[in-house]
Every structure is written in structure tokens, then in C-alpha cells.
Amino acid sequence: MDIKEKILMGRYELGRLLGQGAFAKVYYARNLTTGQSVAIKVIDKEKVLRIGLMNQIKREISVMKRVRHPNILQLYEVMATKTKIYYALEYAKGGELFDKVANEKLQEHIARKYFQQLINAVDFCHSRGVYHRDLKPENLLLDEDENLKVSDFGLSALADSKHQDGLLHTTCGTPAYVAPEVITRRGYDGDKADIWSCGVILYVLLAGYLPFHDTNLVEMYRKMGKAEFKFPSWFQPEARKLVLRMLDPNPVNRITIPKIKANSWFKKGKLSKEPSLNKASGSGATDVAENQDLTKPPNMNAFDIITLSPGFDLTTLFEEPRQKTEARFTIWRHASVIITKLEEVGKRLGMKVGKREAGLLKLEAMKEGKKGILSINAEIFELTPYVHLVEMKKCNGDTLEYQKVLNEGLRPGLQDIIWNSQDGEQEQQVRLEQQHQQQQQVLIPRKC
């Protein structure tokens, strides 16, 4: 399609150019059916292949399909032609958070609000086995209500990218925000590296400048490795302690996200204008709350069902076949029954079973395997009050070990309540498409 035509795939009316890079341009656009404002990212396939960034594109699509949360920029759909790849993205009207801190520090309560939203988003990513690896104010966008949206997952990693030592080894990120252990090339925990980056961001929000800065990169890395930085006089003692714990150069001693959330400075105040789950932005996941009802899983609508149907998966246009690390089952039971059954089967298999949030359970092996502890997310989505889709995803460990547990333990253990499994069979695809037809009046994706 020629971009000058202004109408993309008969669905989006393209407007002004919002930005551009070496191989992509981003346009403001309007959904012709709903009137919703979106951002359309147009990627030149030839340039991407020539530069060698196709794996980065694949990774970004795979990750953004997995992480749907009110504080993460929403990927609505992916379209493609022979020469172009198109992302339809949530439109962040407020621009980059970087623009707000480029010239001055933020007021403490405003900085805290953005930091709370950032930590909630990063925590959600980690629960889905996703590590961002390039967190910085330029990649944090704001919507029209000044709510933070994490974007740009091109350098992110999935848990199954870990080596046999259970660590990530790719050196990437932005020098001023990257954790010192990433630079050493000896391997690192993705979650610990993201926490360091969040610590740098918190410092920048409160100070108005970077904690580590030097025209000589070697000298800057030396300072980072020894945590050599100073606080401006206006930093509150509680904020100082939190930043120091996040910027601990030893990842083993670095504070964890649960402890960040329990920190007294972090808990001060309440998030104002929390993202609405029913807004047209279509943000895709529940905000995690301690008092959430774990028996009420998120709903799926027609758009969500389409993305799970093999016949409608456009990412196959530029992704090679690979060994599956996920499986889906349709179950005709109430969510509480499914949760109980999953807990029973997990314990029978000798796995720890933990509830993380509404509709999400985590199953972990007791012993370490070939690639660390096998960890599986079991997520429940509501189609109707008594029909649910259960999605199993490996988020850590060896794929062959996961396949064995799935096929020899989980699948047989759930057999008495499974309606049908979705591993690409034609019959299940037809059922999903029929479900879509029944709900086709719902055009905007909701939280899942």
C-alpha cells in the first residue's frame, strides 16, 4: 500500500507524521469504524532485513501480544503486505515522559505517581516472563490523562531466552540506564537489570538529571560499578534509601519489586486518575490489587478471540515455526472450579502453585532442571460465565521439560473438565471463529 493513499487496509485514516527512525515511521490515525485515535507504526521490510533487525521486530510483536496492562502501550493489531509491516498502537497523546524532565525535576508527588505506574507495569511484565532491558524516560509515554505507558519492547527478552545458567547474556540497553552487571558480559537476571533502570529513572524524575554521567563511557561505567553518585539536597531521606537500594551494583543485594511496593515512600498517596479498564484505549490487563478476587478472570471479546485463532495470526507472515511453549484449553466450568483443579493437578505433579492475580496462577517445579527452575503460567480468560479459555505458557526453564509436564501431567490431569484443546486443530479454530461471530459487535479489545 502506498502511504500517500491515506487509508490503510480500508480501516485506518492516516494523519500527520508523529515521528520517524531509520526503518520506521509513526503516523497519527483514526479507526474508520470506531473513530478511535491510534498510532500506526509503518516498518519497511526491506530496510529491516538489510539492517538485520527482523528478530527485533519478531520479538517486539511476540512480547506486546503477551503484556497487556493499563500502563503498557497497547498493540491492537499487526498488518502486513509484501513490503511493509504495520502496527496499530495505542495513541499516547501526552508524548514522552523525557520531555517533562528534560529541563527540570518533577514535584515529588508527581514523580511518585509515574514511578508507581512504572513499577506496576514492570512487575506485570516480569510475571509474564518478559524483561524490557531498555527502560528510560524516552520509552515511557503519557496518555491524555497523564498516565504512564511503557513502550518500545524491541530490546526485550523472554524468559526462554535464558542460557543454561539461568541468566541472560545479550548486552543491550542505553548506557546511562543499563545495569553494571549487563556490561560485564558474565550473565545477568533480567528482572534485576530492569530494577536498576527503574532506579535511575526515579533519580532522574526527582533530580532532573542523571546519577551517572560522563563523556568518557569507561569512567561512567566505573562510577556505576561502585555506585558513585550524589543526591541533591532536596531528596527526602526515604527516597534516598529507596534509590540506594535500587542502584546497588551487586544484583544479589538489590531490592526486589515486592519490597519496592512495600516501601513507605512508594506507598505514600494514591494513584490519581487510575487508568480505566473500560476506556477506548483498550488497555489489556487488570491492575494488580491485593484485594482482587482471584476467581474472576479477565474477559475476552471478539478481537481477543481472533488473535488466538491460527487462521488470523498475521505474525506468521514474518515468524519462523518454532517449538511451542504455550497451549490452550477450552473448559466448560466456572472459574473457581478450574482454579481448584489446577491447584490439585499442580500439587499432584509436585509443583508449587501460587496465585498472582485475577485469573493467573504460577506453577513452579521444586527442583532445578536443565535451564533452571521450570515455571509455567496458567492464565484463565472468560468467554462466558461458564466457558473459559485456559492458556499455559512456559515462562522459565527447559522447553522439553515443559512439554513433558504439559503432555504427561497437566493435560491428562485436566482431561475430565477440558471441552477441547487448542493446538491448531481445525475444529477448535472453527469454534473460536463461531464465538467471534457471536460477539462481532464488540470491535475494541478489552483488558485481558
Any idea which residue has 507495569 for its cell? 121
Q: DSSP assignment, residue 254?
A: S
Active site residue: 44, 99, 134, 194, which one? 134
List the binding residues for ATP: 41
Rounded to 5°, the CA angle 27-29-34 comes to 160
Distance of alpha carbon 148 from alpha carbon 94, whole angstroms: 9
Distance of alpha carbon 28 from alpha carbon 91, whole angstroms: 8
Nearest to 125 by CA among 37, 42, 198: 198
Asked if 44 is an active-site residue, the reply is: no
Helix%, strand%, coil% for the chain, nearest 5: 35, 25, 40
Distance of alpha carbon 354 from alpha carbon 180, whole angstroms: 32
List the binding residues: 41
Give the CA count within 13 Å in the CB-facing half-sphere of 428.
18
Backbone angles phi, psi at 220, to 5 degrees: -65, -40
Any idea which residue has 551494583 for its cell? 249
Query: Can you point out the beta strands (E) in 190-340?
Result: 326-331
Nearest to 112 by CA among 259, 327, 270: 270
Instruction: List residues with catalytic annotation.
Output: 134
